[in-house]
Structure 1
Amino acid sequence: MKATGSVLVVDDDPAICVVVGEALRRQGHKVKTAASIRERSALMDSFTPDVLITDVMLPDGDGLEGVADILVARPRMNVIILSAQNTLNTAIRATEKGAFEYLPKPFDLNELTRAVADALGTRDGSEGNPDDAVLPNDGMPLVGRSPAMQEVYRTIARVLSNDLSILVLGESGTGKELVAEAIHSLGQRRTKPFVAINMAAIPRELIEAELFGYEKGAFTGASARTAGKFEQAQGGTLFLDEIGDMPMEAQTRLLRVLQSGEVTTVGGSKPVRVNVRIIAATNKDLPQLIDEGRFRQDLYYRLNVVPIDLPPLRERREDVVLLARHFLERAAQDGLPRKALAEDAAQLLMTWHWPGNVRELQNIMQRLAVLTRENMITAEMLRSMLPLGAVPQDQGAPAEQLAHVVRDWTKRQLGIGLASPQRALHDDLLRVVEPVLLQEVLASVDGNQIRAAGLLGINRNTLRKKLTDYGLDPLRLRAHDGS
C-alpha cells in the first residue's frame, strides 16, 4: 500500500493547482494550495505538510527563498521544486536549498505524483546544503530546455556534493568536457585544479608517462622528474577524455591507481598518494569494447558509478535555435557585431541533422558572426555555411523520417505538457509504434545496432536502452533470407 500524506502546492497558475491537487487527492493525499509566498507562510502557520511543492517564480518573490529555513524548522518535510526557468542554475539552486526533487515545466503529471510518493516514502527530510556555492551565470555553456537536457542538469546537481566517479557518454561535439567543467567548477573541489587529458591525442607509448609522471632518465628525453596529470590535479578533478581509446596496458595501471589511491611514476619506485575526482568521457560503446576484449570490464564499473548520457543535437531539436542565439550573443560579447536570427534561418536550423552536434552549430554561428555584414542572418546566408551535400532531417532515410513523423505527430496532436489529459494515450501509442519501428529498422540492417541508430537519428546507448525496455533481442532482429 502506497503511503499517503499531506501536500501543499504553491503556484500562481490556478490550472496547475487544480490539476496537481486533483491528481494527488485521487491518490489519497490531503492537499492545500497557495498562490504566493505570503499565502504559503500563512497556511504553514497552522498546517505542516509532509511534502511542499512550490514554483520558483511567484508573484511576491522567489519560491526557493526560505526553503532552507523551512526545512530546518520541519526536518521531516520534503520539498519538490517546479520551474519554467529550465536551466542548470535552477537545478543546482534547488538541490542546494535541500529540495528532494526538481521538475522542469512543462512536467509529466505521472512523474510528479511518483516524486510525491517517493518523498512520502522517505519522510526524513533534508538538512540542505550551505548557501555558499558558486552558481553558474547566464553565460553557462550548458544551454538547453529540452527534457533530455533537464535530466542532465538534475544529475549534475545531484553529484556536486559527493566525489563519485562519473562517466559522460555522448557523440563527438555534444559537450562532454563542458559537463566535466561544470561539475568541477560548481562542486566541492572548485578551488583546486581541473586537469584534462585526451587519450586519443597522445601517442600510446606516452600515455602512462602523461598520466602518472616520470623520473629523470626513465626514457630518452626524460631530463628531469615530471609530475603526471594525477599529481597535477591533486585535490581537484581529473578529466579522462576519450577513455575508450586508452590502451589495455594503461587501463590496467589506471585501475590499480583508482583502487589504491597511489601513483608510481614511470621509472620510479616510491608511490605518491593522490586525491582526485575522476570524470571520464567517451563517444564509444564501452560494453561493445568489453565484448571485443579491448576495454577492461572492472575499469568500466569503476568509472561508470554515475553515468551522464548527453543527447545528440538531433534528439533535442527544440534547443537548436536557443543554442544558435546563445552563440551569436556570446560572439557579440567578444566584440563582434550583434546579429539576429531571421525566422527562415531558425526554421532551417531546425531541419538540419547536425552530425557534428553542438560544436558544429557553434562553429557555424561564429563564422556567420564574423563573415556576414548584415545584422539579420537569413536562411540563404545560413545555407551557404552548411556542409555541401548535407541532407536536411526531413529528407533523410525512410526509417528516420518515420521516427520523426511519429514523434512530432504525437507531440503535436496529443501534447506533452502538464495538463494534457491525453498523455497516457501518447505513451501507449509510442509503446505500440516504437518496438515495431525498431524491429523493422534492425531487420533492414541485419541487426547492426550502429547502423540502426544512425538511421533512427538516435545514439547507440539510447537504442540499447529502448531494446532493453521493450525486451527485444537484436541478435534475432535480422532480415529474413526467405528460406
Structure 2
Amino acid sequence: MTRLTGKILVVDDDPAICMVISEALKRQGHIVRTVGSIAERREALPIFAPDVLITDVMLPDGDGLDDVAAILAQEPDLKVIILSAQNTLNTAVRATGQGAFEYLPKPFDLNELSRAVTEAMSVRSSSSAPEPGEGSGGEELPLIGRSAQMQEVYRTIARVVGNDLNILVLGESGTGKELVAEAIHSLGPRRSQPFVAINMAAIPRELIEAELFGYERGAFTGAVARSAGKFEQAEGGTLFLDEIGDMPMDAQTRLLRVLQSGEVTTVGGTRPVRVNVRIIAATNQDLPNLIADGRFREDLFYRLNVVPIRLPALRERAGDVPLLARHFLDQAAVGGLPRKTLSAEAAGLLELYDWPGNVRELQNLMKRLTVLTRDQEIQVQHLRQVLTFAESLGGPAGTGTVDLREAARRWSREQLAIGAGVNPSELHDKLLAVIEPVLLGETLAAMDGNQIRAAATLGMNRNTLRKKLTHYDIDPAMPLRER
C-alpha cells in the first residue's frame, strides 16, 4: 500500500520559508527536517533518508540544481521538488532535465506544494519517471515572464520537450506562439535537426498542399522540377504549422492521412515518402467553433491537440510588461542606437494598457521609442507622444482605451500574485505613482491648464498641485498631446 506520509527534507536559506513549509507539512503528518545550504543537504541526505527532497535553487554555497541528477542516480526512489524565485523557462527545463518530480516557482502556493508532496509520496518509482539529463545551460531563451500564467506555460514546455507528442499552441495574435514552438524544438532531442515553419494564412489556398507535401515535375503549370515540401524539409526535426485554423478542408484531409501513416505523397507523385517529424500547430481561432461550423475536421483537431498550451494575452499578465519592455529596449539598441532605460512611472503606465497587439505591439513600441526618444530614460511624457491610450485613460471599455478602475484592479491582482507578502502600503504607493501623474495631466487638460480649477476639481490646494506637478515632472504649460 502506498505510504501517503513520510520524511521530507526542506533546503532553503530563508528560515521563514522553512518554517512555513515545515509547519504545513507537519500538519499533514510528515516528518520534516530543514537545512539552509547544499553542504547541509549533502550531510543530511544519507542520515535522514528522506522520501521527498524540497530544495531551493539559489543557495548560499551554490546552485541547488547542480547535483540533483547525481543524487537521483544514487537514490532513484527519492522525489525532488524544486523551488525557485528565478521563474524562467531555463530553470523549469533544467529542473525537469535533472529528473525533478515537480518545479514550483516562488512565490508558491502552500496548497500546491502540499499537493505536490502528496503526489510524490503516492507515486512509486518506475522506469517511466523522468531520466536525469543535461540542463539547458545558460543560453537565453525567447520566452520572458514571471507571472503565474507564464510559469504554467514553462512547466508544460518542460514536461513535453523530451517526447514527440503533438502540441497545439493557442493564443491571440502576437502572444508568441512561434516562440513556444522554437523553445520546444531547441530544448528537445531534435534540436540539431531543422525547425521549419509554415503559415497557413500567408499561402494561397491552391498552393498549400504543394508547399506542405512537395510536388513532382509537371504536376502543374510552372512545376519545372521536383520540389520537397515542408514535411521533407523538416525531416528529423520539427514542423510548425501556424494558423492551422486557416487550412482548407481538402488539405486538412491530406494532413490527417500523413499524421496517421507517417508518409507523404507529393502532388503529382505516386510513391509515398516516409517522414519523421514532430508536429506543433498553432492558432488564434476557436477550433471547436470551426468544427461546429464544418470548417475544421474534428478528427484532425484531436490528432493535433494531444498537449494544448495556451499562451495568455499580455493584458492577462500585466506584471510582465516592464520586464518585456526592458528586454525589447535592450534588443532595439543595434546599429549605433543607444540603449534606453525605462522609468518606474513609465513602466507602471504601460501595465495599464490593454495591448490588443500583445507582445508584438510592445516590441514594436520599444523599437519606436528607441529611435524617436532623445533622452536616455523613457518617461511618461515620452509615452504620451506615441500612445493614444495615455491621452484617454478612463475612457469607455471596448474603444481601444483603458477602463482605469478595471486596469487598476488587474494591475493590483498581478502585483499581489508575483509578490507574496508584499507590503500593502508599498503596493498603494506604487499604484499611486502610476495613476496620479495621468490623473493630474488629464485634469489640467480638461481645465485648459488652469491650475486653480484643476486643484479644486481634484480636492487639493494649488500649492499641493504644484508640488505634485514638480514631483512628476509635468509641465502644465505643455499641450496634452505633447506630454
What is the TM-score normalised by the length of structure 1? 0.82
Stretch moving more, 372-381 or 241-250: 372-381
Distance 2:392 2:258 in 1: 46
Distance 1:5 1:133, change over 3 A: closer
What's the CA shift for 1:368? 1.0
Q: CA deviation at 1:372?
A: 1.8
Aligned positions of 1:370-385 closer than 5 A: 370-385=371-386
Q: Show the counterpart of 2:67.
A: 66
Q: Tell me the alpha carbon deviations over residues 440-472 of structure 1, each in whole angstroms, 9 at most, x when there is no partner.
A: xxxxxxxxxxxxxxxxxxxxxxxxxxxxxxxxx
Residue 272 (1) aligns with residue 273 (2): yes
Deviations along 1:315-337, one digit per CA (max 9) or x if unpaired, are 00000000000011122266420
Contact 2:11 2:37 in 1 (8 A): yes
Aligned residue number for residue 145 of structure 1: 146
Q: Deviations over 1:133-174 (max 9, x none)?
A: 654623x22110000001111111111110000000000000
Q: In structure 2, what is the equivalent of residue 101 of structure 1?
A: 102
Distance 1:282 1:391 in 2: 32
2:94–2:135 contact (8 Å) kept in structure 1:
no
Query: Who is 2:329 aligned against?
Result: 328
* Equivalent-residue separation in structure 2 for 1:270 and 1:410 (angstroms): 58
CA contact (8 A) 1:77 1:125 kept: no
Moved more, 204-213 or 391-400: 391-400
For 2:83 and 2:395, the matched residues in 1 are separated by 34
1:11-410 correspondence to structure 2 within 5 Å: 11-124=12-125, 129=131, 131-132=133-134, 134-135=136-137, 137-138=139-140, 140-332=141-333, 335-387=336-388, 392=393, 396=397
The answer to whether the Cα contact below 8 Å between 2:394 and 2:405 also exists between their aligned partners in 1 is no
Indicate conservation of the 8 Å contact 1:78/1:125, yes or no: no
Alpha-carbon shift at residue 378 of structure 1 (Å) = 1.3
Displacement of 1:403 after TM fit? 5.6
**Does the residue aligned with 1:188 lie in a helix, a strand or coil?**
coil
Q: CA deviation at 1:343?
A: 2.4
* CA distance 1:46–1:403, change in 2 (3 Å): same
> 2 CA distance for matches of 1:70 and 1:89?
20
Q: How many angstroms apart in 2 are the aligned matches of 1:292 and 1:275?
A: 32
Matched-pair contact (CA < 8 Å) for 1:168–1:281: yes
Question: What is the Cα deviation at residue 257 of structure 1?
Answer: 0.3
Match of 1:197, SS state, is strand
Q: Secondary structure at the match of 1:361?
A: helix
Paired positions, count: 418
Letter in 2 for 1:176: K
Letter aligned with residue 204 of structure 2: P
Q: What TM-score results when the alignment is normalised by the length of structure 2?
A: 0.82
Measure, in 2, the Cα distance between the counterparts of 1:71 and 1:208.
48
Take 1:383 and 1:401, find their aligned partners in 2: how far apart are those partners? 16
* Partner Cα separation in structure 2 for residue 409 and residue 48 of structure 1: 43
Measured in 2, the distance between the counterparts of 1:344 and 1:388 equals 15
Q: CA deviation at 1:40?
A: 0.9
Q: 1:353 to 1:390 in 2, by over 3 A?
A: farther
Give the superposition deviation at 1:344. 2.4
- Name the CA shift for 1:394/1:317 in 2 (closer, same or farther; >3 Å): farther
Larger of the two Rg values belongs to structure = 2
Deviations 1:341-383 (A, max 9, x none): 1222112211111000000000000111122222111112122
CA distance in 2, matches of 1:24, 1:321: 36
Report how far residue 97 of structure 1 moved.
0.6
Instruction: Write the deviation string for residues 83-125 of structure 1: whole angstroms up to 9, x where unpaired.
Output: 0001011001101110000000001110000000111111317
Q: Aligned-pair distance for 1:389? A: 8.9
Stretches of structure 1 lacking an aligned partner (at least 5 in a row) = 421-483
CA–CA distance in 1 between the matches of 2:324 and 2:67?
33
Secondary structure at 2:4 match in 1: coil
Corresponding position of 2:438: none
How far does residue 396 in structure 1 lie from its aligned partner after superposition?
A: 2.8
Q: Structure 2: where are the runs of 5+ without partners?
A: 423-483
Contact 1:169 1:283 in 2 (8 A): yes
TM superposition shift of 1:43 = 1.2
Match in the other structure for 1:473: none
Give the aligned residue type for 1:27. Answer: Q
Task: Rate the CA distance shift 1:103–1:27 in 2: closer, same or farther, 3 A.
Answer: same
Counterpart of 2:235, as a letter, is: Q
Contact 1:212 1:264 in 2 (8 A): yes
Please give the alpha-carbon distance, in whole angstroms, between the structure 2 residues aligned to 1:63 and 1:128. Answer: 18
Coordinate RMSD, CA, aligned: 2.4
Would the alpha carbon gap of residues 21 and 383 (structure 1) be closer, same or farther in structure 2, given more than 3 Å must change? same
State the identity %: 68
8 Å CA contact 1:68, 1:128 repeated in 2 = no
Shift in Å at residue 2 of structure 1? Answer: 7.6
Q: For residues 66 and 406 of structure 1, do their structure 2 counterparts lie closer, same or farther at Cα, with a shift above 3 Å needed?
A: same
Which residue does 1:460 correspond to in 2? none
- Deviation of residue 53 (structure 1)? 0.2
- Aligned partners of 1:135 and 1:186 also within 8 Å: no
Q: Which residue identity is paired with 2:255?
A: L
More displaced, 96-105 or 398-407? 398-407
Distance in 2, matches of 1:371 and 1:381, equals 9
